[in-house]
Structure 1
Amino acid sequence: MSQGAEPPEEPTRSTARDLDVSSLKALAHPIRVRILDSLSRYGAQTASSLGELLGESSGSTSYHLRQLEKHEFVRTVEGKGNARERWWERSPGRLSFGDREQYENPETAEAVRLINREFLSSRTNYLQDYLAHGDDVLAEEWVDAGSLSTSTLRLNAEQLSIFARKLNAYSEKLVEEIKAEGELQGQRAVQVHIDAFPILDPNLDKKSANTAAKESS
């Protein structure tokens, strides 16, 4: 098993777009999240082709595309299409949302939850599809290139914070390096999942909840 390069000591500065209240509310619709995800997976699409992919009418996808455009989630592809049939692509850059302030704010909490649920549902469906059919439909080089890896660690909150920051920073660095190479022959959509989260422990969490309740009484 080959080992990757060491991650940077200090996280690089994120270039992600922080979503404000208005943008979060605009994105918080299942079809709009699915449109963004489809544009990432399949590349530029028209309202009609998106409708076929999502099982929606072209009128519905056209409406949601216009709403997404108002908040710069998508943009039209220059030099492609015409006044009757516009081609759309996802605006470049990552999206950043779901911090503690947004979860504590009644105006944004439910929007963040909905967006996360939709992205997670899509991500889970992709993985399940890969596990069920990847060996049957993919060339051997693609099956061999993929990797599913899980590490279970015992960390405290500070360790988890450092681990997640460094992991995300290294991931962003690799993404930028790959993007700089431009379009290459043989490319296809690939998803990379990096998850780091505390595993809930009924015993530990129950004790914490009881302690917090006693302190507040």
Structure 2
Amino acid sequence: MTDRENAARQAGPEERRILDAGALRALAHPLRVKIFDVLANEGPQTASTLAAILGESSGATSYHLRTLARHDLIREVPGEHQGRERWWERPPGGIVYDSRAVQGSPAGEAALQVAVAEVHRRRHEELMEYFTGRIDLEPEEWVDASSSMTSGMSLTAEQTIELIRRIEQVIDETAATYRGQTGDGVRRVSVRADIFPLATHTRSTNSEEARP
């Protein structure tokens, strides 16, 4: 199982980091996932600005920032200080959740499960918040620029991998083309592609197993 965080990508595919067990444990917390997302979408923040955005105390955000920094998930912005406040940012590149990186380690596998669950819970919250309410408050141009699509396909593993690569290429090319873009009308946009095999429910032809 792999999962990519494209929001933080500032460089090419070669700079995606596969998370180890320690980094996964650091992300296995709902507030740290939120902090991680805010730094990606809003840019560098301090413990105080994060507290204001997330409705938390600065003591809590400061603690969780240190935890994320300890595992190199975020870093201090060089030369940026406001009194005693430290500014933090997400480093360039993307991250990868890969079960193979922790395979054979019960602690690592458990950390992966919790971290991925928190990330997907956060994604679902954002999706539901937008499409069940906030979309009604958006300008028409951004309503037209919003979409939620699902399509079922019959593919082999090889064909599915090729589809993933083609989608990744489009995302990478678009990210590279518009990297660092600012100005009127520019907003952070979430791009998501959830591709996975559906569960199979094959009915057995064995008469004993088929009995109610």
- TM, length-normalised to structure 1: 0.78
What amino acid maps onto 1:196 in structure 2?
I
Q: Which runs of 5+ in 1 are unaligned?
A: 1-11, 208-217
What amino acid maps onto 1:187 in structure 2?
V
- 1:151 equivalent to 2:151? Answer yes
Shift of residue 79 of structure 1? 4.5
Match of 2:69 in 1: 69
Match of 2:209 in 1: none
Match of 1:189 in 2: 188
SS of 1:188's equivalent in the other structure is: coil
Match of 1:165 in 2: 165
**Cα distance change, pair 28–135 in 1 and its aligned pair in 2 (3 A):** closer
Larger mean Cα displacement after TM superposition, 48-57 or 138-147: 48-57
Is the 8 Å Cα contact of residues 102 and 109 (structure 1) preserved in structure 2? yes
SS of 2:147's equivalent in the other structure is: coil
Match of 2:116 in 1: 116
SS of 1:108's equivalent in the other structure is: helix
Q: Which runs of 5+ in 2 are unaligned?
A: 1-11, 206-212
Shift of residue 13 of structure 1? 4.8
For residues 18-37 of structure 1, the aligned pairs below 5 Å read 18-37=18-37
Is the 8 Å Cα contact of residues 26 and 67 (structure 1) preserved in structure 2? yes
Is the 8 Å Cα contact of residues 76 and 87 (structure 1) preserved in structure 2? yes
Q: Deviations for 1:164-210, whole angstroms, at most 9, x for unmatched residues? A: 2332233222212221x533333222111111111112227x89xxx
What amino acid maps onto 1:147 in structure 2?
S
CA distance in 2, matches of 1:104, 1:21: 11
For residues 91-102 of structure 1, the aligned pairs below 5 Å read 91-102=91-102
What amino acid maps onto 2:38 in structure 1?
S
Is the 8 Å Cα contact of residues 21 and 112 (structure 2) preserved in structure 1? no
* Count of paired positions: 194
Shift of residue 101 of structure 1? 4.4
CA distance in 2, matches of 1:80, 1:185: 26
What amino acid maps onto 1:122 in structure 2?
R
Q: Deviations for 1:3-52, whole angstroms, at most 9, x for unmatched residues? A: xxxxxxxxx85431122233223333332222101222332222122223
Identity rate, percent? 39
- TM, length-normalised to structure 2: 0.80
CA distance in 2, matches of 1:52, 1:112: 29
CA distance in 1, matches of 2:69, 2:27: 10
Shift of residue 103 of structure 1? 4.8
Q: Greater helix percent: which structure?
A: 1
CA distance in 2, matches of 1:187, 1:81: 27
Is the 8 Å Cα contact of residues 34 and 118 (structure 1) preserved in structure 2? no
Shift of residue 104 of structure 1? 4.4
Q: CA RMSD in A?
A: 2.4
SS of 2:26's equivalent in the other structure is: helix
What amino acid maps onto 1:138 in structure 2?
E
Match of 1:4 in 2: none
What amino acid maps onto 1:186 in structure 2?
G
